[in-house]
Amino acid sequence: MLQENLKNVQAKIDAALARRSEEKITGSAVTLVAVTKNHPADVITEALSLGVTTIGENRVQEARAKREMLGAVGRWHLIGHLQTNKAKQAVAIFDMIESADSLHLMQKLDEEAAKAGKVQEVLLQVNIAREEQKTGFSPEDYAAILPQLDSFKNLHVRGLMVIAPAADNPDDIRWVFADGYKLFCELKQQRPDVDTLSMGMTHDYEVAIEEGANMVRIGTALFGQRDYSLKF
């Protein structure tokens, strides 16, 4: 089933890329982050065997349990809110932390990366739709912190991560992705080495790609419903 789902998702990614009305500075390839939260570790093994390169998890504890079972296979991305007291563990586990959502957290990640002798890849999470229940920089706070990014010697800011509000019709939230793309373009003018715009999940990734995403985070469309009774 996963093989079939992967094929379908990949075909939809390609079709969305082909529908882009204009060339985007994010390029013409999309990285698929397979979101395996609330699924057992063996789905990761299966996904990697089918050519998936990148795994997304939203909790440090769950990711750590799976990593202990599987070893260091594939690339691992943290996509959920990170508490500063887990920064050290997160730096030890994740190749990229997509959910850098406060300066305080970034300071802590920078410190822990320095101690670990690592340059930690991060994305700045921006809460474009200003949803109260979601973390992330507001668009103003995001603009205000940009001058400080160079002070983080052990962080490599690769780009932005955006989560759109839930919507029955993904066209209604197209503007969120369009704004995300604009912010990405501005960031790239200041920091030419940024290259990653992570936007889009199962219900909205096609629209996100049309608007310029070059990384999508997909769980349900690949692995089906999550099992919240699993304990890690």
Ligand X SMILES: *Cc1c(COP(=O)(O)O)cnc(C)c1O
Distance of CA 176 to the CA centre of its chain: 16
Smallest gap from Cβ 33 to ligand X, in A, equals: 8
Distances in whole angstroms, Cα of residue 46 to Cα of each of 34, 50, 71, 230, 232: 11, 6, 14, 18, 19
How near is the Cβ of 35 to ligand X at its closest, in Å?
A: 4
Distant-in-sequence, close-in-space partners of 53: CB < 8 Å, separation ≥ 6: 31, 32, 74, 75
Question: Can you tell me which of 40, 80, 139, 165 binds ligand X, judged by CB under 6 A?
Answer: 80
Asked whether position 199 contacts ligand X by CB under 6 A, the answer is: no
Sign of CA dihedral 159, 164, 169, 174: negative
- Smallest gap from Cβ 177 to ligand X, in A, equals 14
Residues 54-73 that bind ligand X (CB under 6 A): 58
Residue pair 55/41 in contact by the 8 Å Cβ criterion: no
> Mask of contacts with ligand X, 130-169, x by CB under 6 A?
---------------------------------x------
37 binds ligand X (CB under 6 A): yes
Cα 158 → chain centroid: 11
Q: Per-residue contact track with ligand X, 212 to 231, x per CB under 6 A?
A: -----xxxxx----------
Q: How many C-beta atoms lie closer than 10 Å to residue 93's C-beta?
A: 19
Give the binding site for ligand X (CB under 6 A): 35, 37, 58, 79-80, 163, 201-202, 217-221
